[in-house]
C-alpha cells in the first residue's frame, strides 16, 4: 500500500508587511536586496515585532481546515546555517510544550477520502538563492534577501494519500480554499511550495524536498512511487533518505545532507512572548471569515436553481464567484452563471488576462438582461462580451459599433426565411414530416444573419411558413 504525506508552505501574500518587521510582504516588486531592514537581516540588538494580521490569517486557515486552535501559541528558533538565512536561525513553531502552533489536528474531505491535518504553523520565509552560470566551473550563487522574513504558513498532513490523483485533488481544494479566504494568491510564483514523504508496501519513508509548485508536486510523487516500485520489484531495499526534486529533469535525486530534527537545536524564542488567542478573539475571527466555498455552492443551487456542476465551478473560484455575487439580480442569476461558465472562462483563463480584463459586474448584469429580453442572441452576447473584456466599453456602444442588434424586424426576417425555404427543399420536406428537424432551418437563418436573428421569432415565422 502506498502512503503519501505532505508539508505545504503557503505564503500569506495578502499581507502588508513581513512577519517580524515593517518591510513589505510583497517582496516581488522590489529591486534585489532593497526590501530589508536591521530586523529581518538579524543585526545585533534588533528585536522582532510580531505581525498580528499574520497570526489572524494563519488562525483562519486553521479554522477552515477544521483544526483545533489553541488558546496560547509560542514561537521557537530553528538553528541552522545557510546563506539564505541572514539570522542563522528561523523563527517558527513547534509542538513540544503541547499544541502551541496556530493549528492543531484537523481534517478535510477530498471526495469521500478523509485527509487528516497534523498541524499548521506560522513561520518566516528565508531569502532566495539564485543560481547563475552554465557549467559547474563558473557556477555562482547569488542571494536576494527581499523575501527573508515574509510570513509563511506550513500545513502538515498525515500520510493519508494513497495515490497522486488524491494529492492533486487535495491541492486543488486547498488552493481554492486559500484563495477564497483571501489569505494567499496561489498563482504567484513561489507562493506555494511543498515537501512530500512517500513509502510503499510498508517500506522506508523517503522525503522529497524542494518542490517549487503544486504542479510539480504531483509529478514528483508520481515519479517517486514509480522509482520505489521498480526497486521493490527487483528486491532492492529502499533507503530511508531525503531526495531533492530536480524540476528541470523531472526526477528526484538523492541528497547527501542528513538533516535530523535534533540538529536544529530548537529552543523557545525568548524575544516573542507567548500569545493568547482567547475565545473572544477566536469567535470574532470566525465571524469575519469569508463565506465558504461549500456554502456558496448551496446558496447558488437553492436560491437560483443553478445546476450542480455549474454551481461547483462558480463557487470554487473566488474571481468568478465575486463577479457573480456583485452582478446578479434574482431574475438574471442563472443567465449570468451561464455567461461566466460558458463564455467568460475561456476569455480570462490566466492571471494576466484577469488583471487586464476591463469587465465590470454591471456589464454582466446588462448583458444577461439583454439576452433575456431578446435584445441580443447568445451568439451576439458572446461577441459583445469579448469586446467588453478587451475595451470596457458600455454594452450599448458595443452593440451599435459591432452592429450586434437582433434582426427582429418581421419583414426582414421573412425575406430571409423565404430564401432559405427555396434553397433547402429537402430539409423543408423533412421538417414538415418531422417537426423536430426544423432546427436545421433555424440554424440556416442564424448563419445568414450571423447569429443575430431573434431565435423565438424565427421559429414562429418558420412554423407559419411551413404550415
Ligand atoms: Zn525588515
Distance (angstroms) between ligand 1 centre and the Cα of 48 equals: 9
Distance (angstroms) between ligand 1 centre and the Cα of 380 equals: 53
Distance (angstroms) between ligand 1 centre and the Cα of 94 equals: 23
Using DSSP's 3-state secondary structure scheme, residue 190 falls into coil
Using DSSP's 3-state secondary structure scheme, residue 43 falls into coil
Backbone angles phi, psi at 20, to 5 degrees: -130, 10
- How far apart are the C-alpha atoms of 417 and 465, rounded to whole Å? 8
Distance (angstroms) between ligand 1 centre and the Cα of 39 equals: 5
3-state secondary structure 47-76: CCCCCHHHHHHHHHHHHHCCCCCCCEECCE
- The answer for residues whose C-beta is within 8 angstroms of residue 35's C-beta and 6 or more apart is 23, 24, 27, 145, 146
Segment holding 268, helix H or strand E: strand 267-268
Name the residue with cell 528585536. 47
Give the 3-state secondary structure percentages of the chain, helix then strand then coil, rounded to 5.
Answer: 45, 20, 40
**β-bridge partners, 195:** 7
Distance (angstroms) between ligand 1 centre and the Cα of 183 equals: 20
Distance (angstroms) between ligand 1 centre and the Cα of 104 equals: 29
- How far apart are the C-alpha atoms of 174 and 217, rounded to whole Å? 14
Distance (angstroms) between ligand 1 centre and the Cα of 84 equals: 15
Distance (angstroms) between ligand 1 centre and the Cα of 37 equals: 4
What's the pLDDT at 256? Answer: 63
Distance (angstroms) between ligand 1 centre and the Cα of 234 equals: 53
Backbone angles phi, psi at 31, to 5 degrees: -65, 145
Distance (angstroms) between ligand 1 centre and the Cα of 190 equals: 19
Distance (angstroms) between ligand 1 centre and the Cα of 90 equals: 14
Distance (angstroms) between ligand 1 centre and the Cα of 149 equals: 7
Using DSSP's 3-state secondary structure scheme, residue 381 falls into helix
Backbone angles phi, psi at 433, to 5 degrees: -85, -30
Distance (angstroms) between ligand 1 centre and the Cα of 414 equals: 73
Distance (angstroms) between ligand 1 centre and the Cα of 125 equals: 12
**β-bridge partners, 114:** 109
Distance (angstroms) between ligand 1 centre and the Cα of 123 equals: 15
Distance (angstroms) between ligand 1 centre and the Cα of 67 equals: 31
Distance (angstroms) between ligand 1 centre and the Cα of 269 equals: 18
Distance (angstroms) between ligand 1 centre and the Cα of 20 equals: 7
What's the pLDDT at 430? Answer: 87
Distance (angstroms) between ligand 1 centre and the Cα of 74 equals: 21
**In contact, 124 and 152? CB cutoff 8 Å:** yes
Distance (angstroms) between ligand 1 centre and the Cα of 362 equals: 41
- How far apart are the C-alpha atoms of 94 and 287, rounded to whole Å? 28
Distance (angstroms) between ligand 1 centre and the Cα of 59 equals: 23
What's the pLDDT at 55? Answer: 98
Distance (angstroms) between ligand 1 centre and the Cα of 435 equals: 74
Using DSSP's 3-state secondary structure scheme, residue 8 falls into strand
DSSP string, 392-412: ---HHHHHHHTT---B--HHH
End-to-end CA distance of the chain: 69
Contacts 24+ apart (CB under 8 A), 188-195: 188/11, 188/13, 188/28, 189/28, 190/11, 190/128, 190/147, 191/10, 191/11, 191/13, 192/8, 192/9, 192/10, 192/11, 193/8, 193/9, 194/6, 194/7, 194/8, 194/9, 195/6, 195/7
pLDDT tens, per residue, the chain with 467 residues: 999 999 999 999 999 999 999 999 999 989 999 999 999 999 999 999 999 999 999 999 999 999 999 999 999 999 988 899 999 999 999 998 889 999 999 999 998 999 999 999 999 999 998 888 766 677 888 999 999 999 999 999 999 999 999 999 999 999 999 999 999 998 898 899 999 999 998 889 999 987 888 889 999 999 999 999 999 999 999 999 999 888 888 999 888 655 555 578 899 999 999 999 999 999 999 999 999 999 999 999 999 999 999 999 999 999 999 999 999 998 999 999 999 999 999 999 888 899 999 999 999 999 999 999 888 888 889 999 999 999 999 999 998 888 887 777 778 888 888 888 888 888 888 888 888 888 888 888 888 888 888 878 888 888 888 87
The closest alpha carbon to 200, from 168, 169, 164, belongs to 164
- The answer for residues whose C-beta is within 8 angstroms of residue 372's C-beta and 6 or more apart is 331, 332, 335
Distance (angstroms) between ligand 1 centre and the Cα of 58 equals: 20
Distance (angstroms) between ligand 1 centre and the Cα of 225 equals: 41
Q: What is the pTM (predicted TM-score) of this model?
A: 0.84
Residues with CB under 5 A from ligand 1 (ion): 21, 23, 37, 39-40
Amino acid at each position: 500500500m502506498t502512503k503519501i504525506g505532505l508539508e505545504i508552505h503557503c505564503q500569506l501574500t495578502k499581507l502588508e508587511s513581513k512577519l517580524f518587521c515593517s518591510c513589505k510582504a510583497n517582496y516581488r516588486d522590489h529591486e534585489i536586496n532593497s526590501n530589508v531592514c536591521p530586523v529581518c537581516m538579524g543585526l545585533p540588538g534588533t528585536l522582532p515585532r510580531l505581525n498580528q494580521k499574520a497570526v489572524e490569517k494563519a488562525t483562519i486557515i486553521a479554522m477552515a481546515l477544521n483544526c483545533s486552535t489553541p488558546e496560547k501559541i509560542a514561537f521557537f528558533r530553528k538553528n541552522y546555517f545557510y546563506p539564505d538565512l541572514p539570522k542563522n536561525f528561523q523563527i517558527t513553531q513547534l509542538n513540544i510544550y503541547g499544541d502551541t502552533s496556530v493549528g492543531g489536528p484537523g481534517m478535510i474531505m477530498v471526495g469521500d477520502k478523509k485527509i487528516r491535518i497534523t498541524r499548521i504553523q506560522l513561520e518566516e520565509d528565508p531569502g532566495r538563492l539564485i543560481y547563475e552560470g552554465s557549467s559547474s566551473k563558473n557556477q555562482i550563487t547569488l542571494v536576494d534577501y527581499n523575501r527573508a522574513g515574509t510570513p509563511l504558513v506550513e500545513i502538515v498532513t498525515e500520510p493519508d494519500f494513497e495515490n497522486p490523483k488524491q494529492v492533486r485533488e487535495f491541492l486543488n481544494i486547498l488552493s481554492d480554499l486559500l484563495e477564497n479566504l483571501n489569505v494567499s494568491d496561489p498563482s504567484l510564483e513561489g507562493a506555494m511550495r511543498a515537501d512530500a514523504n512517500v513509502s510503499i508496501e510498508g517500506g522506508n519513508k523517503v522525503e522529497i524536498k524542494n518542490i517549487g509548485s503544486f504542479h510539480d508536486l504531483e509529478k514528483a510523487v508520481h515519479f517517486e512511487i514509480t522509482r520505489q516500485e521498480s526497486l521493490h520489484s527487483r528486491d532492492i531495499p529502499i533507503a530511508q533518505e531525503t531526495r531533492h526534486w530536480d524540476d528541470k529533469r523531472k526526477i528526484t535525486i538523492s541528497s547527501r545532507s542528513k538533516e535530523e530534527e535534533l540538529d536544529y537545536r530548537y529552543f523557545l524564542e525568548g524575544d516573542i512572548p507567548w500569545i493568547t488567542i482567547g475565545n473572544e478573539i477566536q469567535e470574532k475571527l470566525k465571524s469575519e471569515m469569508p463565506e465558504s466555498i461549500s456554502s456558496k455552492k448551496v446558496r447558488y443551487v437553492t436560491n437560483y436553481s443553478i445546476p450542480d456542476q455549474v454551481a461547483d465551478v462558480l463557487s470554487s473560484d473566488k474571481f468568478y464567484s465575486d463577479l457573480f455575487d456583485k452582478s446578479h439580480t434574482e431574475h438574471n442569476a442563472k443567465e449570468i452563471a451561464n455567461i461566466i461558465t460558458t463564455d467568460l472562462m475561456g476569455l480570462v483563463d490566466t492571471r494576466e488576462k484577469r488583471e487586464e480584463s476591463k469587465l465590470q459586474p454591471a456589464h454582466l448584469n446588462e448583458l444577461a438582461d439583454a439576452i433575456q429580453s431578446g435584445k441580443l442572441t447568445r451568439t451576439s452576447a458572446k461577441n459583445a462580451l469579448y469586446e467588453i473584456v478587451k475595451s470596457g466599453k458600455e454594452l450599448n456602444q458595443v452593440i451599435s459599433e459591432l452592429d450586434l442588434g437582433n434582426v427582429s424586424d418581421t419583414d426582414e426576417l421573412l425575406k430571409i426565411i423565404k430564401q432559405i425555404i427555396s434553397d433547402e427543399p429537402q430539409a423543408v420536406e423533412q421538417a414538415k414530416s418531422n417537426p423536430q428537424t426544423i432546427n436545421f432551418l433555424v440554424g440556416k437563418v442564424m448563419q445568414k444573419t450571423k447569429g443575430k436573428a431573434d431565435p423565438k421569432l424565427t421559429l414562429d415565422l418558420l412554423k407559419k411558413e411551413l404550415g
